[in-house]
Structure 1
Amino acid sequence: MPALFRSPLLHFLLIGVLLSIAQGWRSPGEESADVGVFRIAIEAGRMEEMQRSFAEQMGRTPADAEIGRMIEAEVEEEILFREAIARGLLERDGGVQTRLIQKMLFLEGGTKIEDAPALLARAVELGLHHEDIVVRRILVQKMRLLGSTLDASQIPTPREIADAYRSGRDELRAPDRLSLVHVFMSSDRRGERMRADALALRDELVAAATPANDAPTRGDPFPLGHRLERRSQNDLDRAFGARFGELAFALELERWSDPIASAYGLHLIRVDTHESGQVPPLESVSDRLRLQIEERRRDANLEALLSDLRTRYEVILPDTGPMPTQMPRLRPLERNQEPG
């Protein structure tokens, strides 16, 4: 047989052609699944697996409320997966179809590539799409995207963006920034003398009116430098430790501070400038505001879809182990009821 006919690339292309021919097999339209009530059963083994995974990641067993959130996430994914199947998303994704057909080719070694439509139908009949985590993730993600799609009326208008700008000025305002010089006292070098040395040096700097640029040489070397330009409170907290920025921003200008502790030791600080943050012009943030509005509306669309879909499902939980005291937006059946 010529090498060309053994090529995986040719097989892939043939699959695509045959799948295109087989589109009549797929489920109809964008309509949702039947509006009757369906059941989702979470087995005891799956509950144990979720709790074990949580314990491995967090180093402790989950609280009842956390178990509830895990169950909710599990059920939400299952609902979206089923809805994706009901809306025919599996039949419209060439990558998912190819993956399922390749699995069937592996399971049925004598089957020919030309039987792709039949292979796909058998894969679905056998439920291979339920067991394949990659297929599930693809379909769930596609359903999330579909459920969060904006219609034309939800695209933010210039007026809505301007309204968001006016109402969000505080959030848009740039942070205040300090420029400062500090003298460092190392805890490693000075030990118990560190605070006394810092207080004595502060008095000397004030009495001698030592120039700010000369003062750092009176202390210890500091790896991050002694002059810091235009740093925000968060910048200082990240560099020096919690509350350092808050204390620095409370200082008066051009006066040496009392010793302020950091993760490294003590610091005498002299603030040169304190710049107030400014609100950027609308033109420079309009794209960001538009994306924020769109994201909120996408989230709302998806939540509205999920709220509707949840009313069509009842959840059956195992009658073992700790159960959550709250399961928001879910309606568990009696825990000893058999799955339907």
Structure 2
Amino acid sequence: MTTEAHAADRRRPPLIAVIVLLTAVLTVFLIAFAWPSARSAPRDVPLAVAGPAPAVAQVKTTLDQALPGGFELTAVPDRQAAVQRIEDRDAYGAIVLDGPQPEVLTASAAGPAVAQVLTQLAGRMHPDGGAKVTDVVPLPKDDPRGAGLAAGALPLVLGGIIAAAALTQLVRSGPKRMIGAVTFAVTGGLALAAVLQYWLGSFEGSYLGNAGVIVMSIAAISLTLLGLEWLLGTAGLALGGAVMMLLGNPLSGMTSAPEMLPSGWGTLGQLLPPGAAGTALRSVSFFDGAGSGRPLVVLSCWLLAGLLLCGLGALRGRRHAVPARHEARTVAA
């Protein structure tokens, strides 16, 4: 065996170290994806309540006993006001107590998991068969469980990661990588929106509006990762990809709702592109854009951050290129 081969063997980590590292990575993946689902429960879910003050107080007591800290109640004058809060995305549902029978209003399009919890609670609210349940903003008939939108979370994240990884490997020019990332975001967003809306029937509303949200999400992720790779090399790309995959995807709330995630983590998820995209998609597709302002601002900030990182990477590349050209000229002389 040659000296070079011995040196290469010495540089390789021991087998036990590789096994420990792989086990740690596997454990992190399990925790990232299983923990939010295993600890899913209502936490300060906003609800509207309409009815006499004593009845509202009784409902609050009942909910606190059934699910302590699960709901944040807001009193409204009547059923119409409750429906308006739901349609404005200020509440996930409502309880109406000003009629002969209690009525629970849900919005499965805002979050099927929350609607299911409210439906279960409705059965306990009246001794003669429970409360009436009305889905004010239902999911599409072709996808009544919202499976398409929930499953679409992973392609959104993978699209940005794969684009950044492929462009860094296949395209040498930094500006061309950025152009490629934006172009892919547009084509990928149009394609994903078409599949989810026209084939699976998971979306409603404006096709271009839904596609625009997906485009922003893919572009925000891919440009951010490209900028990190430009500045930090492969380590930057790996770090950014890990954040988007291990935090952004499981904390997006697209399979349930941000308020169903462990305390604080749902809020963090909404500050990352996958979570912001999920909330914006629900708002644009089912609520005529109501509640989409904040997530669109988050996506815009990530887009700007990605462009800034790419700009810094370009400046860093120029600074390194100037001394290299000067050294080459010196050697040639």
TM-score under structure 2 length normalisation: 0.22
TM-score under structure 1 length normalisation: 0.22
Q: Which has the higher contact order (CA 8 A, sep 6+)?
A: 1
Structure of larger gyration radius:
1
